[in-house]
Chain A
């Protein structure tokens, strides 16, 4: 047990979760009070002692599933027919079917795929948890085609299983069945609610399938190897450029609380600045109540000027996600700046400030940026040189000594002319010019990347591969 827990904590640390020594000790003490058989309580006991940030919960859960997946009564592996759970259910189903006059045939293993689909449909329809779990086990056994020792990831098996089950079609069938049941039409509201309910159940079923595959893989390869392949970065460490769709959703979710925290921190920083020089007028005015003795000196509070921000972002395919997140972040805390103007480009450039001004909803504004902004000039491949040139021609006069210019992009210029004189001019006129690059530092200046050439004329080039780095930069800026 102790060993298992130790391995577990080591794996958590490997996954990037900060687990301190005291927390480890607490966990050890906690598990003495909670029996491991009570899996949910056990999980929460470990979670409460080891994980102190909700964003880390998902990673924790994955590791937990891997390390403790082979324990607990209802989590046994299906090894042949000795699983009473399934047998019982099967007998029940048989009863039902006999009543319906269909007549069942043999054990669960002898079912045809059509019958499995039918059973699953019923399970989903009734929201029958136990049956859903049994079906998940059965489908994995049947469809995933898992072979011991084969070095493929869990996603491959998941894909194979789900392809055979056709869950999309299942949803429609469920909806049809419901419509029949109700007699007459569903109102749109009811329709929507029913659909969501079924989607939720199907998601749960998918989760069961995933868990089943994971259990089998762990049994095959051992917990440590599995944990390594399943290790996922924390949301704030996910790279913008390589984020999967799920990770993007997680990132978006992580962004909002982050901006709130950032705004609170910046506002606080502004307010709690050091005391400034003596405010003579104020001191004299207050001295009147002491008969002219300046007993209570008053100080001027420094009010650091809020910077004016000009964001110029490349939104071509490769770096679009990064630009989107940066714009979202900047606009979410825009009250920390006196003015924000934003421009997006691929090879042509367009101002998008109005999109953000028109609506309170940042997501919608971003959507408009992606669909409406006129950023293609010739062929829709990044051309930093041309974009910068046009920017300077049209908007250059608006860049003044108060403005801070942020240039976002990977500087992969497709071997066009760099026109880096624009950046040089910017640096002359603006207060600061910064370049944020979403690529890892080691890729800079390789291939058609010319970030070095632009970089010489800026006040700093920063690597911004994930939310953590982006947050750090923005905090420094405001």
Chain B
């Protein structure tokens, strides 16, 4: 796809990274990321359409991990922009290296037969004095990169606008230099914990993927894959109990990473079947609120 029909200018062809949806799935499985149909399908589409993916979902369901795993299977460099309140242009896009510019001007002054002002001016606003930040770095990279914009819901609505140009056209406009167009379309992942509604403009430019807590089967497989040495029956029990707990009305349902922590703890304690007592004693690994723990302990041990 050299240019898309909406006229996205791309220097140099970006070959398709994936062959089939099934292929994506298997590749992800090899790096121990167990994708379901939706995840693999959307990743495949993102490559074909050359669009960013916006991943939403509860914390700890592997949103960031997906970007990392994709980077791993593509053997690409992962460039990560962690968003926070107060993030601005100079942290996300680019910044002029002010100190270096000053030095340049000062050296000029000392030398004989100094150059014209215009020359100096053109000189100090050139590539050499530009500090690239993650977004600019991602589109100027020669080697394949995966760009991860993490927790995009943390920035203010106004700052979101910074991302729009790069997300839709894969380019960055710098007033002094002109427009820098991507050498190749990077795969872009944005993650959001959904603490606020993202703007329509941002959503429109992305493919949307909602990653939820996994189904029983998938969670069991994840436990089996990520916790070495665990028996199948224990993994099954872990997955079932976690599902049971997620159905309760809790402040914070256990995430996949917490499930894994729990399974690892059980392994360390040399437990091969979970009974009420062990479940109750180790609940604090799955749940982080006292009210939740009491509630879950009550539900799990007392027959209803």
Task: Select which of B42, B194, B244, B275 is within 8 A of A257 by beta carbon.
Answer: B194
- Give the Cβ gap from B275 to chain A, nearest Cβ, in Å: 6
Tell me if A191 and B48 are in contact (CB < 8 A): no
CB of A200 within 8 Å of the partner chain: yes
Residues of the A chain whose Cβ atoms lie less than 8 Å from the Cβ of B206: 52
- Give the Cβ gap from B226 to chain A, nearest Cβ, in Å: 22
User: Which residues 1-49 in B have Cβ within 8 Å of A in the complex?
Assistant: 5-6, 21, 37-38, 40-42, 44-45, 48-49
User: Which residues 154-204 in A have Cβ within 8 Å of B in the complex?
Assistant: 187-189, 191-193, 196-197, 200
Q: Is the interface of A mostly helix, strand, loop or mixed?
A: helix
Category for how many chain A residues contact B:
35 or more
| Bound CA–CA A172/B197 (angstroms) | 44
Tell me if A48 and B209 are in contact (CB < 8 A): yes
| Bound CA–CA A193/B209 (angstroms) | 30
CB of A414 within 8 Å of the partner chain: no
Tell me if B244 and A196 are in contact (CB < 8 A): yes
Residues of the B chain whose Cβ atoms lie less than 8 Å from the Cβ of A48: 38, 41-42, 45, 53, 207-209
> Given A33-B48, A44-B37, A257-B194, are A188 and B21 neighbors across the interface (CB < 8 Å)?
no
| Bound CA–CA A33/B41 (angstroms) | 10
When each residue 1-42 of chain A gets 1 if its CB lies under 8 Å from chain B and 0 otherwise, what string results? 000000000000000001010110110011001100010110
Residues of the A chain whose Cβ atoms lie less than 8 Å from the Cβ of B237: 193
CB of A260 within 8 Å of the partner chain: yes
When each residue 88-113 of chain A gets 1 if its CB lies under 8 Å from chain B and 0 otherwise, what string results? 00000000000000000000000000
| Bound CA–CA A406/B5 (angstroms) | 54
Task: Select which of A54, A189, A265 is within 8 A of B56 by beta carbon.
Answer: A54
| Bound CA–CA A79/B244 (angstroms) | 40
Residues of the A chain whose Cβ atoms lie less than 8 Å from the Cβ of B196: 261, 264-265
> Given A30-B45, A363-B249, are A41 and B303 neighbors across the interface (CB < 8 Å)?
no
- Give the Cβ gap from B7 to chain A, nearest Cβ, in Å: 13
Q: Which residue of B lies closest to A25 (CB)?
A: B6
Q: How many residues of B contact A (CB 8 A)?
A: 48
User: Which residues 33-73 in A have Cβ within 8 Å of B in the complex?
Assistant: 33-34, 38, 40-41, 44-45, 47-49, 51-54, 57
Tell me if A41 and B49 are in contact (CB < 8 A): no
Tell me if B302 and A45 are in contact (CB < 8 A): no
Residues of the B chain whose Cβ atoms lie less than 8 Å from the Cβ of A20: 200, 204
Tell me if B302 and A188 are in contact (CB < 8 A): yes
- Give the Cβ gap from B52 to chain A, nearest Cβ, in Å: 11
User: Which residues 218-271 in A have Cβ within 8 Å of B in the complex?
Assistant: 257, 260-261, 264-265, 268
Tell me if A23 and B240 are in contact (CB < 8 A): no
> Given A45-B45, A51-B208, A360-B291, are A191 and B38 neighbors across the interface (CB < 8 Å)?
no
Residues of the A chain whose Cβ atoms lie less than 8 Å from the Cβ of B216: 200
Q: A23-B204, A44-B42 are in contact. List 5 more A-B contacts (CB 8 A).
A: A26-B49, A48-B41, A48-B207, A49-B207, A188-B303
Supply 16 A–B pairs (Cβ within 8 Å), ascending by A.
A30-B49, A34-B41, A44-B37, A44-B38, A44-B41, A45-B41, A48-B209, A49-B207, A188-B301, A189-B301, A193-B237, A197-B240, A257-B194, A260-B195, A264-B195, A272-B156
Q: Which residues of B contact A (CB under 8 A)?
A: 5-6, 21, 37-38, 40-42, 44-45, 48-49, 51, 53-54, 56-57, 156, 194-197, 200, 203-204, 206-210, 216, 237, 240-241, 243-244, 247, 249, 274-276, 279, 291, 300-304
Chain A to chain B: the 7 pairs with minimum beta-carbon distance, closest first: A52-B203, A188-B303, A44-B41, A44-B38, A40-B37, A41-B41, A48-B207
